[in-house]
Structures are given as C-alpha cells and as structure tokens.
Structure 1
Amino acid sequence: MSNKAVVYVKPGEVEVRDIGYPDLVLRDGPGVNPLNVGRKCNHGVILKVITTNICGSDQHMVRGRTTAPSGLVLGHEITGEVVEVGSDVEFIEKGDIVSVPFNIACGRCVNCRKQDTHICLNVNPDRPGSAYGYVDMGGWVGGQSEYVMVPYADFQLLKFPDREQALDKILDLTMLSDIFPTGYHGAVSAGVKTGSTVYVAGAGPVGLAAAHSAQILGASVVIVGDLNEARLEQARSFGCETINLREHDNLGEQIEEILGVPEVDCAIDAVGFEASGHGKDAGEAPATVLNSIMDVTTAGGRLGIPGLYVTGDPGGVDKDAKEGTLKIRFGLGFAKAHIFVTGQTPVMRYNRDLMKAILSGRAQIAKAVNATLIPIDEAPDGYKKFDGGVSRKFVIDPHGMVKNRVAASASAQAR
C-alpha cells in the first residue's frame, strides 16, 4: 500500500514522496539513530492520518537551520484514526479517533511517571526526549503522511469520546498534538492568572496559541509583539493588543502606552533562536527576545519560553550562535529574580483539559491561529507560504476526509 509523505530534501525544499506503508517496527532510514533501528513496537498502532499540521519547528529544519538529514519525513502534529493495533495494546481499538502528543514517551521511566513526558528516558538514545519527524530525536518517522506508526499507544494516545463530534471539531482538535498545549504551557509557565498583564513575543501560530491561552487563564491584557503586520492583525482579531516591532524599537515605551507602565506581570517567548532585532533595519539577533522580555517583565515575574532553542544551528549569525550560545543578559534576570521555564512542552499534562475546553466551545483555537486546510500535495507550497510570513496555520488533509465532510455538510444545509 502506498503512503504519501512530506520529506525534507535540502534547505528551502520539501517534496511529497511515497515512503511505503508503516509497520510496528522502527526501520532504518534518514535520521534514525542506529540504536533505535529494528525496535519492535507491539505496543503501538498504525494510524490513518486525518489531519497533520505544519509547525514552525518544521520550518527551522526546512530553512536549513538544523542538522536534519535529507530524506527526513517531517511532521509531529498528528490526529488520526486507528487502523491497526499491536498485540500488546489493550485499551485502544480500531476505529478510535485520537490525538497524538508530539512527545514520544514510554510511560514507564521515572520522568514519564512524573508527567515529564517531554524528557522520556527510553525513546531517544542521544538525550532525554523525542518527537516524530524531527532532527536528533531518535528517528521516529514523521506524520505528515497518509499513515504513521505510533508507539506506546495505551499510554500516549488521547482518544476523543465521540467520533462525530470529533470530526465536526477537527480543525480545533488537531491543535492538541502540539500548538495549543505548547502555547498553554508557555502561559502557565509564565504564571498567567486572573488579572495578569502578559506580553507574548511572536505572532506566529504558537504565539497566537499562547495569547489565546492567556485569555482563557484570565489575563486582563494580552499584548503581542511581532515584525509582521498581517500576523499582528490576526492577534487583534481575537482581542489582543499589538506592537509592531519593525516600526518601534523600544518595547517598554510601547507597553507603557498600552498599560500606563513599561512592564508586564509576565512574558512568553514564542519566537526562539531565529529572532530578529527590533526596528526598521534590524537583522537576525538570536538573543533579542530573551533580553527584551527580561527588560519588560516586572521583578519577581516569570518567563515562559516555549520558543525553540537548539544546540546546533548551521545558519547561525556567528560562531557562538551556531552552537546555541547566545549573549543573554542573565545578570538582568538575576537582578529581577525572574523565573525561567524552558524546554519542550509535556503535552499530556494539558491535552485532555484543553480537549474539554474545545468540545465545550470555551476554546476557539482554530479561529485564533487561522487554521487553513490543504491537501498533502500542496504541502510544499504551504511551507513556502508559511516561510513567507502568511498568517495561517496550515492543516494537511492527506485523505481528503475533512474536505469531503465539509462539502457534504454544506450540501446537506443547502437542501
């Protein structure tokens, strides 16, 4: 059986290839750690992918800003239907519609038992933590495909309680695999609570998810800063204040115009290592966001940092940046007694509660991030548009299930 998938070819280029139907073994391939080759996964399942999203983290690889090998199958944001169940799977059944946390986690190690599924000790021989279709994460095959194998199914998979309801809400529910929990984790890590004033650096999909999460958590004012006016317009569409950092290089002054004071209670970095300086002629300056959020966060405040930072960046602006060494004003953070929370998001800590918020109508995450459906053959074009700064969260519909359902619903309403 064929299995179309989105594959990284070289910097700036992805293509759709047939990678073959998966089985319950991790086979050798681009990026697969030799110690993971041949790993049997009778505890896993095969999913027919319903939706899989393009993520900003994928974009870092596609830009050539990591050590990702050519041929790597991309995609760690996966929602699907179970079509095959391993012999050791007890509670997940064929036909279940499930969300897949992007963290791959065994459920057995000491970190998984503490809900720190983002730093599982048993799935990546290189270091704690793993993900599908991502560089240096053990080589688990990505899910921007028609079918994908998911290990440790009983532990990892979030089963939706009602199939029809799930398919009706799929553009929201597809965000549970990464972007919504990641934005929410940024807000929780920053200490957002009722009445908080919050600054979110970055109006890409994760920044927008963080802003919406801050609203859900009760923030009184959410300010989003970015260099891209179209993305800022999207932030304003659901009630955020905004600052165009291309036009204004003094963040504190702009915050003071909004709040009356030049500081916020807490801040979220949703940009990461490809940050730019502020102002009209500014170029890449990877420590900009971290330094700026320390500057504008009140003493004793918290900084949530879901933005990605890497240990290897071939495209870094200097020798230090190439190894992830940044010129951070740590003394400023120390003087202001800031709390920093970094690292991948432990998706399983949040996804069930966020699912309930979606199903109840409390969360409108698809609207907040401007979810945009595309077929898998248009994924390369989606990557180019996303890299160009379009304010959309591209959702790949590899089998046309979502498109066909929307069309059938529209036809029924017209009759």
Structure 2
Amino acid sequence: MTYNRAVAYTGNGGVTVKEIDFPELVLRDGPGVNPQNVGRKCEHGVILKVVSTNICGSDQHMVRGRTTAPEGLVLGHEITGEVIETGRDVEFVKKGDLVSVPFNIACGRCRNCIEGKTHICLHVNPDRPGSAYGYVDMGGWVGGQAEYVMVPYADFQVLKFPDKDEAMEKILDLTMLSDIFPTGFHGAYTAGVKMGSTVYVAGAGPVGLAAAHSAQLLGASVVIVGDLIEERLAQARSFGCETINISKHDDISEQIEQILGVPEVDAAVDCVGFEAHGHNHQEAPAAVLNDIMDATKAGGGLGIPGLYVTEDPGASDEDARRGSLKLDFGLGWAKAQSFATGQTPVMQYHHGLMMSILKGKADIAKAVNATVIRLEDAPRGYEEFDSGVAKKFVLDPHNLIRS
C-alpha cells in the first residue's frame, strides 16, 4: 500500500491536497523535520487510517504566513483514526481499535510526562519542550490531515473508544477530543470556573465556543462570549451564552455590567491569541489579554489557551515579531490575578470528556457547529474558516462519516 493523500501548506497563503508517502514506523526527512529527528525509529508507534481530522485555528496561523512554517509542511494535529498497523513494541493497542490522538506528542517516559505535563515532553522535539503533529518548529512529526498517519508512543498516548459502533454514532463529538474540546475545557478549568461562576470568553471561534460549553459543564451561572463577527456570536447564543459584539462596544466592562449588574466576571478565557484585533478592527496582539485583565475581578483567574508565538513574521511592529507584547501586567499583578498559559495537556482531560460525550452530558459538535467536508475540499474549508464562518470543519478522508 503506497497511496496517501494529505493537506500541505503551499507557502503562499493557501493549502493543496497532494500525494505523499505512505507512513512508516520511522520519521523520514521532509518539510519541517528537525535534522535530529530524521531516521527516528518508532516501533512504539502505530499507523492509523484517518477517520476524521479537523481544521484548527492554529493551522490557519501558519497558512496566513504568521509563522516560519516551510512550504510543503503536511498539516493537521486533530486526529481520530482506526489502527491498521502496530509496531513491534506496542502491547496494548490493537489493529482495528478506533482511537483519538492527543495533539501533544509525548513519550510517557521523561520527567514531565511522568508528572502529567504531556504538553511539554522533553524527548520528542529537539528544539524545545513540547511537540505536535504537522506544526512548525515542533520536531517535524507529519500531520494528520491525510488518509493515513503514523502516531508514535501509542500505548501511552492514544485514547481507545470502548465501542466502535457507538463511537461512530458520535464521531462528530469525539473528533473534538484530540484538541479543541480539551483546549476549551483547559482554558475554563485553569481560569477557576466552578459552580455559579460568571465567565467571559474572548473569541467565538471553535475554541472559544468549546470553552464556553466547557464553562457551562463546569457549572458557570453565566457565560458571556465576545467577538467581532455577528455570525459567531449567534452560534454562541444558540447554546445559551450571552454575547458582546466587540466591534460595536469599546468598553467590555460596561457591557458586562449591563448583563450582570457588575462590571467584572469571576473568570475569563482568552481564545483569540496573538492575531487579536482591537475594537477598531486593527491588529493589536495584546488587546485581548489587557481586556480580560480589566474585566476580571481581583483574585480572579485567566485561562489563556489562545496561541502566542515567539516569532511572527507578519506582525505590525518589531516587538510583536519577537512575541514581545505591550501588556498591562501591572494591572493584573495589582489585582492578584492568576494566569494559566501554554499548550493544553490533552491527556489530563480527554478520558473524562469522552465519557461526558458518550453519556450524553456534552454536546460539543453542536456547540462548535461541526461541518463535514471531503479531504479534497480542504482548500475551500481553509478559505471559509479564514473568512470567519461559525463552523468547525471536519475532514472525512475515507467518506466514513454518516451525515
């Protein structure tokens, strides 16, 4: 078997679907592969037939040219698939298993992994702690927006669904377990959302909607979502959120007061990241962070799953190009607020969220408006996603998802 199609970055603001090598249990050289990882043997890994793989806002950052991603990089870190081959050292994962793959690549053997910090594994990326599939400067592990993909350290990493038929019935929800649902949940959880909390979520893209739904699952009394795009805000309202159109209101605290009677929330979540825009629609990388510090009470928590980078070639000023932002940090310090940042350690959450889905407690596909498209339609999906549509695009490489 040698045929394998995948979505690759074209280097000019777009993507293409092209034929690539069928995966092996070794990391071969290719676009973005760290030289120290070339030839790395993965007998601890498995080959998956991809059942579903999602387009993520983090992918979009690369496609827009806002990172140093190389041309030809195969994209995709949100992967669900069926095991079709296992490595010699794999003991507990079997052929035929249907599994969710955390977007973090983690060895399970280093100090950080043993402590549950799988988002900053020390062994999988020679450049820095932490790695992901199909992402710039993450070691070069081939992305999963493809028909087939190799997943290393399978016994440790993958989440097996208990019943394949049941899983396929809920595949649009379960496909969110690889990233978006745990990431949204992590943002709300680390912000300290609990029973009765009032919460502000900045950004009504898929992660923001996932964070809003997660805040509801955690018992929030009110979830307020802010965004510049009315279509996305309508999606947030569809499952019970209050909303603020940032383009129409300069003062977020004033709008919060109109909803809650007080100008502050207990907790806030930044689901926008470094491509944030201010109230005037001009790019302002620190705008959201400063807004949530202002809008969160003294002693409140700020969850920051939104992506921030160390290099942004498309930034408007030299500081932002180095990831140096003009924060009102003194305000956050004075208010004794807590901050939680970084990639989400998916494995801390994915089993519990899976059970919430299977037992009917979570309806994440509806919350993020999961929309299935064919693999060959990925370029259109990227274009539509970039325009701000209120959809989470799910690629179906083998036409296995029933509409």
What's the TM-score once normalised by structure 2's chain length?
0.99
Match of 2:60? Answer: 59
- The 2-side partners of 1:296 and 1:247 are apart by 17
Secondary structure of residue in 2 paired with 1:10: coil
Match of 2:125 in 1: 124
Alignment pair present for 1:348 and 2:322: no
- The aligned amino acid for 1:393 is K
Residue type at the aligned position of 1:388: S
Q: 1:170: which partner in 2?
A: 171
- In 1: Cα distance, 2:137 partner to 2:11 partner: 17
The residue matched to 2:50 in structure 1 has which SS? strand
Residue 326 of structure 2 aligns with which residue? 327
2:370 aligns with 371
Q: Is 2:12 the counterpart of 1:11?
A: yes
Q: Structure 1 residue 360 and structure 2 residue 362: aligned?
A: no
- Per the TM alignment, residue 254 of structure 1 is displaced from its structure 2 partner at its CA by 0.3
C-alpha offsets along residues 228-270 of structure 1, whole Å, 9 cap, x if unaligned?
Answer: 0000000000000000001111101000000000000000000
2:99 is the counterpart of 1:98:
yes
- Residue 193 (structure 2) aligns with: 192
CA distance in 1, matches of 2:389, 2:174: 22
Q: Pairwise mapping of residues 3-82 of structure 1 onto structure 2 (< 5 A)? A: 3-82=4-83
SS where residue 6 of structure 1 aligns? strand
Post-superposition CA distance 1:61-104 (Å, at most 9, x none): 00000000000000000000000000000000000000000000
Question: How many residues end up aligned between the 2 structures?
Answer: 402
**Distance between the aligned counterparts of 1:185 and 1:206, measured in 2?**
10
Which runs of structure 2 are paired with 1:148-163 in the superposition (5 Å)?
148-163=149-164
Give the Cα–Cα distance (whole angstroms) in 2 for the partners of residues 188 and 107 of structure 1.
23
Q: Alpha-carbon deviation of 1:282?
A: 3.2
For 1:349, the aligned partner's letter is: Q
Q: d(CA) in 2 for partners of 1:11 and 1:347?
A: 31
Q: Percent identity?
A: 74
- State the AA in 1 paired with 2:178: S
Query: Which residue pairs with 1:410 in the alignment?
Result: none
Distance 1:361 1:114 in 2: 31
Aligned residue identity for 1:335: A
How big is the shift at 1:348? 0.1
Q: SS of the counterpart of 2:136? A: coil
Displacement of 1:10 after TM fit? 1.4
Residue of structure 2 in register with 1:411 after alignment: none
Q: Which residue in 1 is equivalent to 2:292?
A: 293
CA RMSD of aligned residues (A): 0.5
Aligned-partner Cα distance in 2 for 1:161–1:389 = 35
1:336 paired to 2:335:
yes
Q: What do the CA deviations read for 1:303-353 (whole angstroms, capped 9, x no partner)?
A: 000000000000001000001000001100000001000000000000000
Structure 2 counterpart of 1:366, one-letter code: A
Q: Distance in 2 between matches of 1:7 and 1:224?
A: 33
SS at match of 1:277: coil
* Whole-Å separation in 2 of the counterparts to 1:228 and 1:317: 22
Distance of 1:254 and 1:151 partners within structure 2? 47
Report the equivalent of 1:314.
Answer: 313
Q: CA deviation at 1:284?
A: 0.3
Aligned-residue offset at 1:20? 1.6
**Partner amino acid for 1:400?**
N
Q: Is 1:135 the counterpart of 2:98 in the alignment?
A: no
Instruction: For 1:162, give the aligned amino acid.
Output: D
Matched, 1:283 2:282: yes
User: Which amino acid in 2 is paired with 1:298?
Assistant: K
Gap regions ≥5 residues in structure 2? none
2:385 aligned counterpart, secondary structure: helix
**Residues 117-137 of structure 1, C-alpha deviation per residue, up to 9 Å, x if partnerless?**
000000000000000000000
What SS class does the counterpart of residue 129 from structure 1 fall into? Answer: coil
CA distance in 2, matches of 1:252, 1:333: 15
Cα offsets for 1:96-116 (capped at 9, x unmatched): 000000000000000000110
CA distance in 1, matches of 2:13, 2:381: 12
Structure 2 counterpart SS, 1:230: helix
Q: Which moved more, 1:4-13 or 1:231-240?
A: 4-13
- Secondary structure at the counterpart of residue 256 of structure 1: helix
* Structure 2 Cα separation of the partners of residues 262 and 226 of structure 1: 18
Matched, 1:393 2:376: no
| Aligned residue in 1 for 2:267 | 266
Moved over 4 A (4+): none
Q: Which residue of 2 aligns with 1:409?
A: none
| TM-score relative to the length of structure 1 | 0.96
CA–CA distance in 2 between the matches of 1:332 and 1:282? 24
Separation of aligned partners in 2, 1:397 and 1:114:
35
The 1-side partners of 2:281 and 2:334 are apart by 28
